[in-house]
Amino acid sequence: MRPTLRQLEALKSVADTGSMTRAATDLGISQPAVSRLISDLAEALGFRLFDRRGGRLVPTQEARFLLPELDRLSQTLDQIGEVSRNLTQRTAGHIKIACLPGFATSHLPDLIADFLNARPGVTATIEPDRPERIMEWIIGEQYDCGITDGFEGHPAVFSEIVPIRTVCIFPAGHAFESLQEVRPDDLAG
């Protein structure tokens, strides 16, 4: 039988405190519950875990051999808790963004730099490609978000239109110079 985390927590607490009663207080459970956890663990492992000496419970040689492993397990559980808190608070993780090539070199670098500076535990991947490919990736959940044009909608995708400043450049003396604003219709002719 595989030991449970609760049994291992009880083992560590009794080893640290030398007492079932103090371990019960530390774990927030009753003393009989701690005794039962230790008894079940000893039975599952096939050896005694504690000897009584001078009113204290002292780990057996076999139990002492397990204690460094329990310390590592405790550290790992603490790390999992920390990573979970960071993910919940959005201060850790990885974001994958698919976008048009122009965005990858113009708009996104500064935005992503600001985003990452505010969240040192977060990393990012930017993948430039054509609109069809970006849609495939987003629908297939290979990327967290995509920036594209010509989106015609898809039930698996949420989209939001984001206005951007676009400029039209042309040589000096061009007919567009007299226009206050160049519209798509102006480009058609």
Judge if 109 and 128 occupy the same domain. Answer: yes
Judge if 133 and 165 occupy the same domain. Answer: yes
Could you say which of 40, 69, 87 is where a domain stops?
87
Judge if 68 and 99 occupy the same domain. Answer: no
Judge if 77 and 116 occupy the same domain. Answer: no
Range of the domain at 53: 5-87
Instruction: CATH number of the domain at 38, please.
Output: 1.10.10.10
Could you say which of 31, 61, 87 is where a domain stops?
87
Judge if 101 and 59 occupy the same domain. Answer: no
Listed residue (90, 26, 18) closest to 49, CA to CA:
18
Judge if 99 and 175 occupy the same domain. Answer: yes
Q: What is the pLDDT along the chain (189 residues), one digit of tens a residue?
A: 789 999 999 999 999 999 999 999 999 999 999 999 999 999 999 999 999 999 999 999 999 999 999 999 999 999 999 888 878 887 888 999 999 998 899 889 999 999 999 888 899 999 999 999 999 999 999 999 999 887 777 888 888 887 777 788 889 999 899 998 888 888 876
With beta carbons less than 8 A apart as the criterion, state whether 151 and 139 touch: no
For 48-76, letters b (16+ CB in 10 Å) and e give ebbeeeeeebebeeebeebeeebeeeeee
Number of structural domains in the chain: 2
First to last CA, the chain: 79
Residue found under tokens 């519950």? 33
Taking the whole predicted model, whether its pTM rises above 0.85 is answered as: no
Q: What is the CA radius of gyration of the chain?
A: 31
Instruction: CATH number of the domain at 155, please.
Output: 3.40.190.10
